[in-house]
Amino acid sequence: MENNLKYLVLGYRKYTGTRQRELAEELEVPIEIVTSLETGTYRHPTERLINKIKKLTAEFDQHDLIHIGRGYRIHDELGPDFKYFLRGLEKVRGINPNELKRLPTEECYRVIGSVNLDEFEVMKAGIQA
């Protein structure tokens, strides 16, 4: 789970509409730790913190939260090149970008995050399309 912790935390926060400060208060940690968790730079979370996160996310499908978080991260990482990623999804997986855009926001990011391919390779495919 530690490899996906950054996506789980970000996905939970985005799905629930929680702000980083609110999540920090719920987890009883400084806001900097939430930021570090979401970016993946918090390398050694305590067992206590991991248990709090598991408890907080237990009522949700954790795989969906991870996919949502990964989808948001892909969007942030690619920035203006995200449009090429969407084109690439159509080329490599047959996912229509127009249909994807019509989905509710979290569902859209869940689909994006569930694609088990390197986002930069998908983006390159979209550039070549």
Residue 1 has pLDDT above 90, yes or no: no
Residues 77, 82: Cα–Cα separation, whole Å = 8
* Residue 26, token pair as written in the block: 């719920």
* Residue 11, token pair as written in the block: 């996905």
pTM exceeds 0.75 = yes
Average pLDDT for 99-127: 94
3-state secondary structure of 44: coil
Percent of the chain surpassing pLDDT 90? 95
CA atoms within 13 A on the CB side of 73: 27
Residues 27, 24: Cα–Cα separation, whole Å = 5
How do residues 24-82 score in pLDDT, each as one tens digit? 999 999 999 999 999 999 988 999 999 999 999 999 999 999 999 999 999 999 999 99
Q: What is the structure's pLDDT at 62?
A: 95
